[in-house]
């Protein structure tokens, strides 16, 4: 597996810069990012992407009126 840390750091710095340029303070932006990452981690742990589960196929139903 290749390291994504450098690329991720660059993107995070650009994101912080975007919000700081728009008027936010750096510590506020970083705190908001940390909160969102915590929320994302919790949501993923509770309900990971069903596509990651082998054998589960999500197909549309053909029981709508025009299908027959």
* pLDDT(68) > 70: no
Q: Is 19 exposed, middle or buried (0-12, 13-18, 19+ CB in 10 A)?
A: middle
Q: For residue range 15-30, list pLDDT tens digits in order.
A: 999 999 999 999 999 9
**Alpha helices, DSSP H only, in the chain?**
5-21, 26-46
Q: What is the pLDDT of residues 36-65, one digit of tens each?
A: 999 999 988 887 775 666 665 666 666 777
pLDDT at 1 over 90: no
pTM value surpassing 0.85: no
What whole-number distance in Å separates Cα of residue 17 and Cα of residue 28?
Answer: 12
Q: Which residue has the higher pLDDT, 5 or 19?
A: 19
Residue that is written with structure tokens 């009126």 in the block: 65
User: What integer pLDDT is reported at residue 67 of this predicted model?
Assistant: 62
């Amino acid at each position: 597996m290749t390291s994504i840390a450098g690329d991720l750091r660059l993107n995070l710095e650009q994101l912080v810069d975007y919000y700081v340029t728009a008027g936010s303070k750096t510590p506020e932006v970083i705190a908001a990012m940390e909160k969102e990452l915590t929320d994302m981690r919790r949501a993923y742990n509770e309900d990971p992407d069903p596509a990651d589960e082998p054998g589960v196929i999500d197909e549309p139903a053909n029981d709508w009126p025009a299908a027959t």
